[in-house]
Amino acid sequence: MKFYNVFLKQKLVCWFYAVLLASTVLVAEGAYTGPGSDVGSTTVSAILKKPQDDMRVVLKGNLVRKIKHETYMFSDGTGEIMADIDDKDFPSQPVNAKTKVEIMGEVDVDRRSGVEIDVKSLRIISQ
């Protein structure tokens, strides 16, 4: 009976470490944004010419105006596109039409509302 308890404890410890190792690998994989990560720097005009739903993008430009709550017009100098940005994704510094920002998100293609960027993160590049 004592041997069985030791064996069971060893088996549980092995499972614990296997789960811990697997979760660490998954977290590291999700945070990688280098070559092969499928995130592309592009331009607004390129997106509007050939929109691909759920394509991950990185854009640099300005939020030129607010359309409605959490919806903004974004411009990178090549064109304008609507950007859906949650309030929680804004940095603590104020952002205006002259603030240069980098947005990362996904292209959202909808027949009714058109093409927009579902922004996952927003970073201020310069004021």
Long-range contacts of 31-37 (CB under 8 A, 24+ apart): none
- Alpha-helix runs per DSSP H in the chain: 2-31, 44-49
- CA–CA distance, 105 with 67 (Å, rounded to integer): 18
- CA–CA distance, 118 with 110 (Å, rounded to integer): 12
Domain boundaries, the chain: 1-31, 40-126
Could you tell me which of 120, 122, 102 has the C-alpha nearest to residue 56?
A: 120
- Give CA angle at 32 (29, 33), nearest 5°: 145
| pLDDT computed for residue 12 by the predictor | 58
| pLDDT computed for residue 28 by the predictor | 42
DSSP three-state, residue 98 = coil
| pLDDT computed for residue 27 by the predictor | 44
| pLDDT computed for residue 37 by the predictor | 52
| pLDDT computed for residue 25 by the predictor | 47
In contact, 74 and 45? CB cutoff 8 Å = no
| pLDDT, one tens digit for every residue, the chain (127 residues) | 555 555 556 665 555 555 544 555 444 444 455 544 555 678 999 999 999 999 999 999 999 999 999 999 999 999 999 999 999 999 889 999 999 999 999 999 988 879 999 999 999 998 6
Homologous superfamily of 40-126:
Bacterial OB-fold (2.40.50.200)
Task: Report, in angstroms and rounded to the nearest whole number, the Rg of the chain calculated over CA atoms.
Answer: 22
